[in-house]
Every structure is written in C-alpha cells, then in structure tokens.
C-alpha cells in the first residue's frame, strides 16, 4: 500500500529532523545558545505537528478496516 510507504518516509523524516536538532545542540556554543534554543523551540513544534499528522493519518487507515494483518502490524509499529 503506497500510503504506508508515504507514512514510513515521513516518519523517517521526523527522525532525521530530531537528529539534526540534537546535532545543533551539540555544536552550539555559549555565545549562540540562546539562538539555538529559539530554533529548537520552533523545530520541536514542527516535529510534534508532523508526528501528530502521521499518527492521525495512520489511525485513519486502520479505522477503515481495509488493511491486511501485516499492514496493520506495520502501522502499529510506526
């Protein structure tokens, strides 16, 4: 199902975004920490929003009941 591939790709994108955020913190200096915190606040809002959208999308797919058992297992594992 192509919809699951799209959701999986978006899940990977969220993971990459979080990794980038962590790297940004590690590379920050005391001088730019305030700016980094502001950027992280904005980025974390994006991550939460995207994660909720993915979760809602996958819940919608499951609620239709038109998925095979393997697909349902994959969805619940995301």
Specify the pLDDT at position 1.
64
10 Å Cβ neighbour count for 68? 9
Specify the pLDDT at position 45.
97
Query: Cα separation of 34 and 71, whole Å?
Result: 44
> By the 8 A CB rule, do 62 and 72 touch?
yes
**Residues 18-77: tens digit of each pLDDT:** 999 999 999 999 999 899 999 999 999 999 999 999 999 888 888 887 777 777 777 777
> By the 8 A CB rule, do 40 and 69 touch?
no
Mean pLDDT of 1-20: 90
Which residue, chain included where needed, has tokens 């200096």? 29
Specify the pLDDT at position 72.
73
């Amino acid at each position: 199902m192509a919809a699951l591939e799209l959701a999986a790709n978006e899940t990977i994108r969220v993971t990459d975004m979080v990794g980038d955020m962590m790297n940004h913190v590690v590379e920050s200096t005391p001088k730019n920490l305030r700016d980094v915190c502001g950027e992280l606040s904005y980025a974390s809002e994006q991550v939460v929003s995207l994660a909720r959208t993915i979760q809602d999308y996958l819940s919608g797919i499951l609620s239709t009941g038109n998925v095979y058992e393997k697909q349902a297992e994959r969805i619940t594992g995301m």
